[in-house]
Amino acid sequence: MNILITNDDGVYADGIFELANKVKAIANVYVVAPDSEKSAIGHAITIHNPLMVKKVNFRNTDIDAYAVSGTPADCVKLGIEAILEDIHIDLVLSGINNGPNLGTDVIYSGTVSGAMEGLVQNKPSIAISYDGKNISSKEYEKGAEYVVQFIDKIKDNLTMLDDTMININIPDIRDTKINGFKVTQLGIRRYENTFEKRIDPRGNIYYWLGGKTVELEQDENSDVTAIKNGFIAITPLKYDLTHYDRIGRIMKEIQPLDI
């Protein structure tokens, strides 16, 4: 099995290293990741500037790793279509992210978008995030072990991911006992945003975005609830955002068409 790994924290982040280092025990691993942090960049791709690529020493391992001056989606697209074009990639992984990607976070997440681009490229794809702060290599390593377990469980049935990617969120093992895997739906994440107004040395106004998560009532089957209850949340996602239940209703409202 050949696995392409990317992330949005950058090729030198601890999360991607621990993931790649564990996964290489079960597959041939190739790392193509941003050369710097690209968190919350969503599914952006680079079309107005060239993508610079540099092969890097991946902490003295034998893993082929490339740093790209682009986004996670760039890395997956470029990795599959150019850098690794002679290698058949069987699975795309994105992570392990520093912090969770739950509920509506997936819209903004570079980590989830890296895996979603894998799906666009017709590859089985999994995004992995760790719910914690000041995460050490030890926690990432343990998280990667759970990912390897999950891959081992589904590796013979990857066709179930033909039109679906998996978003995995791992609870902070320092504070929570892991109770197993739980298949979930997206919860609701809202933020109490603050825009701090500042002035630069030249007198120009700029704003710095901050804020905190708002605690909301969640469905018992949501990824947010699963994480709080000590489960590793496994959420199937797709890129078809069509609201099919609304098609007929909207057509009824706009008929007849006055053209």
Closest to 19 (Cα-Cα) out of 128, 175, 118, 158 = 128
CA distance 195 to 203: 18
Element holding 232 (H helix, E strand): strand 231-237
Tell me the binding residues. 8-9, 39, 97
Sign of CA pseudo-dihedral 176, 236, 43, 117: positive
Query: With contact defined as beta carbons under 8 Å apart, do 25 and 63 qualify?
Result: no
Both tokens assigned to 253: 């409202």
First to last CA, the chain: 55
Phi-psi region of 95 (alpha: psi -120 to 50; beta: other; left: phi over 0): left
Name the nearest CA neighbour of 237 among 169, 174, 178, 191. 169
Q: Which residues carry a binding-site annotation for a divalent metal cation?
A: 8-9, 39, 97
Question: Quick one: CA torsion of 65, 68, 72, 77, rounded to 10 degrees?
Answer: -90
